[in-house]
Amino acid sequence: MRLAGKSALVTGAGSGFGAAIAKRFAGEGARVAVNDLDAAKAEAVAAAIRAAGGDATAAPGNSAQVESVAAMIAVCVAAYGRMDLLVLNAGVAQRPAPIETVDEATFDRIFDANVRSVFLGAKYAQPQFKAQGGGAIVVTASTIATRPRPGLGVYAASKSAVISLTKALAVELAAIKVRVNAVCPSAGETPMLKEFMGGDITPEMHKLFTSRVPLGRLCEPADVADAALFLASDEARFITGIAMDVDGGRSV
């Protein structure tokens, strides 16, 4: 058990990559607080973990809102006495669109969910990390940060900000034994993918996307969960400030 004795809070864990991360962590012995904006989805993932013999509790709330962030950390600490691992995974997509058609509300929605949530999570975790003598943060960024695509500028910029914040926090928090790393998935098989494609994904589109990936398929939730597990575990004890591509070679 690679996370035995640890407890974790995973944001946006009601679906996709976050759900896979929560389940993988629990399978490795972590006790998991499952956050999502959608309380029913958070509870369903927590229930699935418990049904599989793990320990999980739902911690619903908006990861971009101060009171909710404080509350979800409090749920984790109240349930498990600690919060060793914080996975800041919640995020939203952008529908591809020319920049002149992107309204300010879209910019704010994406930066709130993707960047403000990482800032708040990292900030409000500090008292707990200090009290217990360390911890680890894993952030879900994206390969788009370094390979921006047309029509997705706001989303790409949000993930660049997240990587920059990850690296800044890594050097700042090393002194209190908190490691901070990011995983950067490429286009992944989650409900979010449809949004990036601007609607339903035809078999032809799917084929085109997979053909561009050297390892010949899209990113799967299990790929991201395994990478996050490694970065969260003590196996990564000397690794901080990296942005790890989980992309089948797509970014090379």
Q: Is 155 labeled as catalytic in the residue annotation?
A: yes
Residue 88 burial class via C-beta count within 10 angstroms: exposed 0-12, middle 13-18, buried 19 and up: buried
Q: What residues numbered 50-69 form the site for ligand NAD, per CB under 6 A?
A: 62-64
Q: Considering only the stretches 22-30, 49-57, 189-197, 202-210, report the one whose residues sit in contact with ligand NAD under the rule CB under 6 A.
A: 189-197
Give the full edge-to-edge strand order of the sheet including 7-10: 55-58, 31-34, 7-10, 85-88, 135-140, 178-185, 243-246
Distance CA 238, CA 235 (A): 8
The site that binds ligand NAD (CB under 6 A) totals a number of residues, namely 31
Q: Please select the residue that binds ligand NAD; options are 7, 8, 9, 16, rule is CB under 6 A.
A: 16
Distance CA 76, CA 31 (A): 9
CB-nearer residue toward ligand NAD: 28 or 247:
247
Q: Please select the residue that binds ligand NAD; options are 7, 89, 160, 240, rule is CB under 6 A.
A: 89
CB-nearer residue toward ligand NAD: 22 or 178:
22
> Which residues have C-beta within 8 Å of that of residue 105, sequence separation ≥ 6?
none
Q: Please select the residue that binds ligand NAD; options are 79, 90, 161, 173, rule is CB under 6 A.
A: 90
- Both tokens of 101, joined, read 């058609």
Least gap, CB of 152 to ligand NAD (angstroms): 11
Q: Please select the residue that binds ligand NAD; options are 113, 180, 232, 243, rule is CB under 6 A.
A: 113
